[in-house]
Structure 1
Amino acid sequence: MTIFFAPLRLAPRPTEPQESVWKLLLEVTPIQWGFFFVGWLAWCCDAIDFFSVSLSVTALGEQFDRDTTKITQAITLTLLFRSVGAVLFGVFSDRFGRKWPLVFNLLLVAVLELGAGFCNTYQQFLAVRSLFGIGMGGIWGLAASTALENLPVGLRGIGSGFLQQGYAVGYLFAACISLKLVPAVHPGWRALFWTGAGISAFGAAVRAVLPESAVFQKAREAAEKHGFISEKEKTRIFLHETKEMLKKHWVLCIYAVLLMTGFNFLSHGSQDLFPTYLEKTKGFSAHDATIATIISNCGAVSGGIVAGYVSQFLGRRITIVVFVCWVAVFIPLWILPSTFGGLAAGGFWVQFGVQGAWGVIPIHLAELAPPAFRATFPGVAYQLGNMVSSASAQIEATGGDHLKTTLNGKSVPDYAKVQGIFIGCIAAFTLFITVIGPENHGSHFEKHRAAFDEGGGSDEAYIDEEGAAAAASAKETDLEAGDHENEKASEERISTEKQTA
């Protein structure tokens, strides 16, 4: 049962001795490593492709003769259409498997990224980037389910942190390509898009070589043990189970979208215009702005890994709260300095907090999701949040048009003040949504049946008795912790009443 307004508390203490992280890592099989790597790589490709626009705003403005606000419209349209891709590819993955939907998804992204590099007009560029958003929308849910469902439960926290920082690593790769390759070749900004297309095609090839997810295959075999069911009948069952899931979990769906709205505003508000902010408000060269971006993404990678690991012990929500507070503390260092060192340090520590909080999200959403919909639910929630936050770059660009500062005697957009206010407000909203929400730490979602199995959409639909026993043990631990808290509160109340008497 999903409980909102639950008190923040540490992760439930395991009832049995737990193996160390290092021992668990040594026990991971090559195929499990392959699943995790390809999920990480897919998410990395998504970031390279998305941030190709952010890193090329100035060059695109010169190419298409448009100002920053107009160019950022391409970012907005990409984010708007990502929810369509999340629904399509998420449903395909939960219905047909993890393998081929992700292969097709990555190939689609590669083709559209390649096409973006051949655009000669602003209208063509907007059209291609809009379609591109559909392709990008499916990747996160498929990548997370592929990477995490095959890992041992004890590694999912740190695995979540590593997986999510595929996005920061992708941004890092894109920044390095923009720094070294783009200025050195005649096509200029187009080379960044074409390189991103090649990396996405490579990701598709790697996924095609690997087998179907072992966990999904196990769920499929369990469904077939009930007797032969045609593909048409499986689809009918899947649609029925989806309808029942939405009727039961509609409040959880709304909550997940609100949570991801806050997180997406937080990341896009601190990333999309960061190079532009350094160039136009602080007077950095494009080279120095790119170097600062690389440094900030090193902070992002570090924060995500640390937070993912820590969440195994502190719990998912407490870890998010700690890292969002970290962001708020370092906002002044993000906006006040004028030197390269100060601003690069601000970028490093703010992104340490932003992507630290984000590092918990893949596993947090996977644990909250109805188990049979681990690709659809997190992916759609993520991308609907992306859709709501799609205007982040345009909001900041418009704010910069109205809030001005002086740089070398010239009036320039004051992106420092705009981003400081924006990030501060979003951090407060994200904290509130996280605190009031539920948590399902340590969920054994890998033991659940598939959504195309009759009754498989239920939260209690386990493949075997072992799965049911693990879930019952987890619930018992949570109940014992709740009883302990209630007893403590009762004792405190009785003590207070005696003192008053």
Structure 2
Amino acid sequence: MTVPYFISSLKPRREMRTDGRPLLECILGLTFIQWAQFFSGWLAWTCDAIDFFSVSLSVTHLQTQFDKTANDITTAITLTLLFRSLGAVVFGVISDRYGRKWPLVVNLILCAILQLGAGFVQTFHQFLAVRALFGITMGGIWGLAAATALENLPVELRGLASGVVQQGYAAGYLIAAVINLTLVPSVSAGWRSLFWTASGISLFAAVIRALLPESALFLRAKEFEKERGVTSTEKTKVFFKETKRMLAKHWLLCIYAVILMTGFNFLSHGSQDLYPTYLETSKNFSSHNATIATIIGNCGAIAGGAVAGWVSQYIGRRLTIVIFVCLVGAFIPLWILPSTFGSLSAGAFCIQFGVQGAWGVIPIHLAEMSPPAFRATFPGVAYQLGNMVSSASAQIETVGGEHLKTYILEKGKLVQVPDYAKVQGILIGTVAAFVFIITIIGPENHASHFEKAKPAFEEGAGDDELEADEIPSRDRLSDDDEKASVKRINDA
């Protein structure tokens, strides 16, 4: 009996490269600029998460502020996720055409402005409007941040780096939780201070990126085109022609990537967005203890992302995802059945270790899977379209809680409350099974040298494909010319 290729291809293997170097040697060999660009990409994604989860952590406060139900407040989360796709398209296209640096700087400044505005709103409709606008600016961050962080690193480091970068999301959630735990209760502004602090951190991230140079790979490509005498207008025409060609050739891959990211976003948002509310409502935790449990969960997420990213470098991206999704399913009972703080916190750690471990592989998996010239636009748009489809995950859970009830002991009396434990258990179990299946049947381009591809504004970029472990033979610049080009860029 012949084993289907999509099953046999999961077999663990080391990357088959003749130029592969040990992990520690690669880390020690990084330049200051490579470290700084990696940090700036990580920080940008962290800022995105700080603000997004500011709403999740403030649901009960926002209910009081605007006199709305939890389901009404989660509308703001849904709107943010719905509009992120637009931002991914706009900023992704600009980045692939004009570079990584200034589109990300502008993106972060716009985020800071809207974060600041969220802290000044007076009505619920104003809050919804600001959150919808924020969704557009937020949508551009992930693709640009991942490209900034990963494309300047050696291929041997990209698995580990992917896990660390993606867990900027968990780190942002953790930072937001710490601010919510310490600052919010101690100032008269209350929940508004969380959004104002997030605004300041985003502005800081924009300054850091502005002080760093453009991606060396992108600068070399631009210099090569300049030496050929290609004008900016010509490059723009080529860019849109090659984009159209890429979509015509890779439309099936685009659909698969969106379906994959839909599952992943349901997995992430379904396990995180309503988690503090679940602990406070269904488990009768105080706001303080719910925040502490959230922090513990995000520590698990950070650990899982780094471990999974590193492991994926040796056994492949899809097999790593499959293993960590199985861990999610195994720990669902610990996540929803206990009633004590210690047990539920352990469940949060284990679930997020699995969820965000699987997620830690996604930045590099999508970058390697993408048509290489469009590795800012393609991953970003696929990710945010998946976000759009899964945008109602928090509302699905609140509606489920209206129909599934449980009882808690409050002041000596049994009180009926939404059973968010059962709702989240059902949702995450179903989604984990979906992600397991869709990952197994999908493609993988493990260890692709996408940094060798043509830029999106060069003829033929839409047809450019790189196989795993392949180093293209086409000589865009001779070795001497490339070294001279890099020296000029560094001197500049």
Q: How does the TM-score come out when normalised to structure 1? A: 0.91
Amino acid at match of 2:336: I
Q: Which residue of 2 aligns with 1:339?
A: 340
Q: Give me the whole-angstrom Cα distance separating, in 1, the residues matched to 2:473 and 2:258.
A: 29
Q: Which residue of 2 aligns with 1:26?
A: 28
CA contact (8 A) 1:106 1:201 kept: yes
**1:424 and 2:438 aligned:** no
CA deviation string 1:213-239 (max 9, x = no partner):
0011112222223x2222222111100
Residue of structure 1 aligned with 2:473, choices 458, 468, 480 = 468
Q: Which residue of 2 aligns with 1:222?
A: 224
Q: Give me the whole-angstrom Cα distance separating, in 2, the residues matched to 1:361 and 1:73.
A: 27
Name the SS of the counterpart of 2:174 in structure 1: helix
Residue of structure 1 aligned with 2:417, choices 406, 412, 418 = 412
| Runs of 5+ unmatched residues, structure 2 | 476-492
Q: Which residue of 2 aligns with 1:480?
A: none
Q: CA deviation at 1:454?
A: 1.7
Q: Which residue of 1 aligns with 2:168?
A: 166
CA contact (8 A) 1:161 1:360 kept: yes
Q: Which residue of 1 aligns with 2:355?
A: 354
**1:95 and 2:97 aligned:** yes
- Closer, same or farther in 2 for the Cα pair 1:252/1:466, shift >3 Å? closer
Q: Which residue of 2 aligns with 1:388?
A: 389
Amino acid at match of 1:267: S
Q: CA deviation at 1:461?
A: 8.7
Q: Give me the whole-angstrom Cα distance separating, in 2, the residues matched to 1:217 and 1:467.
A: 19
CA deviation string 1:445-494 (max 9, x = no partner):
111111111222322499xx963389xxxxxxxxxxxxxxxxxxxxxxxx
Q: Give me the whole-angstrom Cα distance separating, in 1, the residues matched to 2:307 and 2:474.
A: 31
Q: Give me the whole-angstrom Cα distance separating, in 2, the residues matched to 1:438 and 1:51.
A: 32
Percent of aligned pairs sharing the same letter? 68
**1:121 and 2:139 aligned:** no
**1:10 and 2:15 aligned:** no
Q: Which residue of 1 aligns with 2:289?
A: 288
Residue of structure 2 aligned with 1:64, choices 63, 66, 84 = 66
Q: Give me the whole-angstrom Cα distance separating, in 2, the residues matched to 1:178 and 1:15.
A: 47
Residue of structure 2 aligned with 1:44, choices 40, 43, 46 = 46
Aligned residues: 465
Q: Give me the whole-angstrom Cα distance separating, in 2, the residues matched to 1:308 and 1:101.
A: 27
| Runs of 5+ unmatched residues, structure 1 | 471-501
Q: Give me the whole-angstrom Cα distance separating, in 1, the residues matched to 2:432 and 2:225.
A: 44
**1:212 and 2:191 aligned:** no
Residue of structure 1 aligned with 2:438, choices 433, 449, 458 = 433
Show the 5 A alignment for 1:78-227: 78-225=80-227, 227=228
Q: Give me the whole-angstrom Cα distance separating, in 1, the residues matched to 2:8 and 2:97.
A: 33
Q: CA deviation at 1:19?
A: 1.8
Q: CA deviation at 1:10?
A: 2.0
CA contact (8 A) 1:38 1:207 kept: yes
Q: CA deviation at 1:4?
A: 6.5
Q: Which residue of 1 aligns with 2:234?
A: 233
Q: Give me the whole-angstrom Cα distance separating, in 2, the residues matched to 1:189 and 1:374.
A: 37
Q: Give me the whole-angstrom Cα distance separating, in 2, the residues matched to 1:467 and 1:229.
A: 23
CA contact (8 A) 1:98 1:146 kept: yes
Q: Give me the whole-angstrom Cα distance separating, in 1, the residues matched to 2:465 and 2:441.
A: 24
CA deviation string 1:339-373 (max 9, x = no partner):
00000000000000000000000000000000100
Amino acid at match of 1:200: S
Show the 5 A alignment for 1:299-338: 299-338=300-339
Amino acid at match of 1:411: Q
CA deviation string 1:429-456 (max 9, x = no partner):
0001000000000110111111111222
CA deviation string 1:244-273 (max 9, x = no partner):
000000000000000000000000000000
Name the SS of the counterpart of 1:406 in structure 2: strand
